[in-house]
């Protein structure tokens, strides 16, 4: 494994981890959500898979994939989410990942599905730390469907399936534990009628 210095950040390769997320108890959350544990099967069967490799580093991706049914947004001042040249190791991910522009990789990522018709979503988080990243899954009318937290170190697959349509994800680093996040291989499928 080798380290890479990009944009002033030392980026170390990630090794995929198993048993990577858990559902936190939350009385406001729905019980209609299931964790997806097999990343390879999920990525192989998802209707839409974005690995961000067709875009150049530093490209702002906020609305680039709107035609595919997804919008990325940062909660930081400039709201920019950009392509970073970074490859997850261990066979996970490709050449590029996405993260917040300023400050680099820090802050929350809002990922929304304007059609409110997503049934399952999965992605890779890099350099996760147990309890260091929270993923909130929302349905129609901002209803919280699930509240997840990382349980492993390294590259973590986060995948969920829901009976209710998924409209938004919020990926939040827990600043006291792990202040930054990067996402790669973002995939989802829509509800069938």
pTM for the model: 0.81
CATH number at residue 180: 2.60.120
Q: Supply the pLDDT for residue 180.
A: 76
Name the percent of the chain lying above pLDDT 90: 31
**Is residue 99 a part of any domain in this protein?**
yes
Q: Is 77 among the domain residues?
A: yes
- 152 is written with which tokens? 């492993």
Residue 6 lies in a domain: no
- Percent over 70 (pLDDT), the chain: 76
25-34, 102-111, 115-124, range with the lowest pLDDT: 25-34
**For residue 31, is pLDDT > 80?**
no
Q: What's the pLDDT at 188?
A: 96
Q: Is the pLDDT reported for residue 21 higher than 90?
A: no
* pLDDT level of residue 120 (50, 70, 90 thresholds): very high
* Mean pLDDT across 125-140: 88
| Number of domains observed in the structure of the chain | 1
Any domain includes 8? no
> What is the token pair recorded at 14?
């990630």
Q: Residue 153: inside a domain, yes or no?
A: yes
The predicted pLDDT at position 17 comes to: 43
Q: Please work out, in degrees rounded to the nearest 5, the angle formed at the alpha carbon of residue 185 by the alpha carbons of 179 and 188.
A: 110
pLDDT in tens, 149-192: 988 887 889 999 998 899 999 998 888 887 778 888 899 999 87
Please write down the HEC assignment for all residues of 133-155: EEEEEEEHHHCEEEEEEECCCEE
Query: Does residue 70 lie within any of the structural domains?
Result: yes
Q: Is residue 1 part of a domain?
A: no
pLDDT of residue 2: 37
Could you tell me if residue 5 is inside a domain?
A: no
Which domain does 89 fall in, by range? 14-190
């Amino acid at each position: 494994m080798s380290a890479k210095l990009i944009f002033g950040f030392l980026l170390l390769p990630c090794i995929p981890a198993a048993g990577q997320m858990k559902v936190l108890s939350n009385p406001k959350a729905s019980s209609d959500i299931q964790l997806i544990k097999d990343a390879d099967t999920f990525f192989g069967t998802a209707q839409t898979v974005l690995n961000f490799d067709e875009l150049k580093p530093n490209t702002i991706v906020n609305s680039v994939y709107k035609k595919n049914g997804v919008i990325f947004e940062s909660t930081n001042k400039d709201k920019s989410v950009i392509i970073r040249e970074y490859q997850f190791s261990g066979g996970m991910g490709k050449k590029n990942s996405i993260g917040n522009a300023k400050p680099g990789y820090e802050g929350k990522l809002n990922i929304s599905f304007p059609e409110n018709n997503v049934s399952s979503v999965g992605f890779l988080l890099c350099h996760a730390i147990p309890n260091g990243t929270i993923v909130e899954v929302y349905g129609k009318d901002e209803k919280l469907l699930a509240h997840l937290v990382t349980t492993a170190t390294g590259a973590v697959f986060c995948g969920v399936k829901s009976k209710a349509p998924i409209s938004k994800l919020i990926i939040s680093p827990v600043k006291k534990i792990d202040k930054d996040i990067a996402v790669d291989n973002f995939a989802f499928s829509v509800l069938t009628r």
